[in-house]
């Protein structure tokens, strides 16, 4: 009677130990995965900050280019109002020539 009860008790402890070891193993696996996800999310956050900074810089560059282009267009309008339409045509033709030369150079690469 007593021997059977003791054997049964040992078997129960043994089963509990197996479950406890599996639990510990799964907990460690989960801890590793959570750590990997945490480091990945930190890297994503850093990348997003860098991309936002780069976009902001690009926006500033586009704004300054837009201002320069607006000033140039204002000058062209001033030239076109005067009697210098011949000079304006030459400037336009020169601009087109430079554009095509640059396009041709880029195309050859």
Q: How many CA atoms within 13 Å lie on the side-chain side of 90?
A: 5
What is the reported pLDDT for 5? 47
What is the reported pLDDT for 45? 94
Sign of the torsion formed by the C-alpha atoms of 21, 27, 31 and 34: positive
Taking the chain (109 residues) in consecutive chunks of 10 residues, what is each chunk's mean pLDDT? 48 72 93 95 95 91 83 78 72 91 87
CA 89 to the chain's CA centroid? 44
What is the reported pLDDT for 72? 83
Domain ranges of the chain: 12-81
Q: What is the pTM of this model?
A: 0.46
What is the reported pLDDT for 108? 85
What is the reported pLDDT for 60? 87
């Amino acid at each position: 009677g007593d021997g059977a009860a003791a054997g049964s008790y040992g078997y129960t402890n043994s089963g509990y130990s197996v479950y406890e070891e599996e639990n510990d193993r799964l907990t460690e696996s989960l801890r590793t995965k959570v750590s990997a996800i945490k480091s990945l999310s930190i890297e994503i956050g850093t990348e997003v900050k860098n991309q936002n900074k780069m976009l902001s810089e690009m926006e500033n560059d586009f704004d300054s280019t837009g201002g320069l282009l607006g000033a140039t267009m204002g000058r062209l309008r001033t030239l076109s109002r005067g009697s210098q339409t011949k000079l304006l045509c030459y400037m336009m033709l020169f601009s087109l020539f430079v554009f095509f030369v640059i396009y041709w150079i880029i195309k050859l690469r």
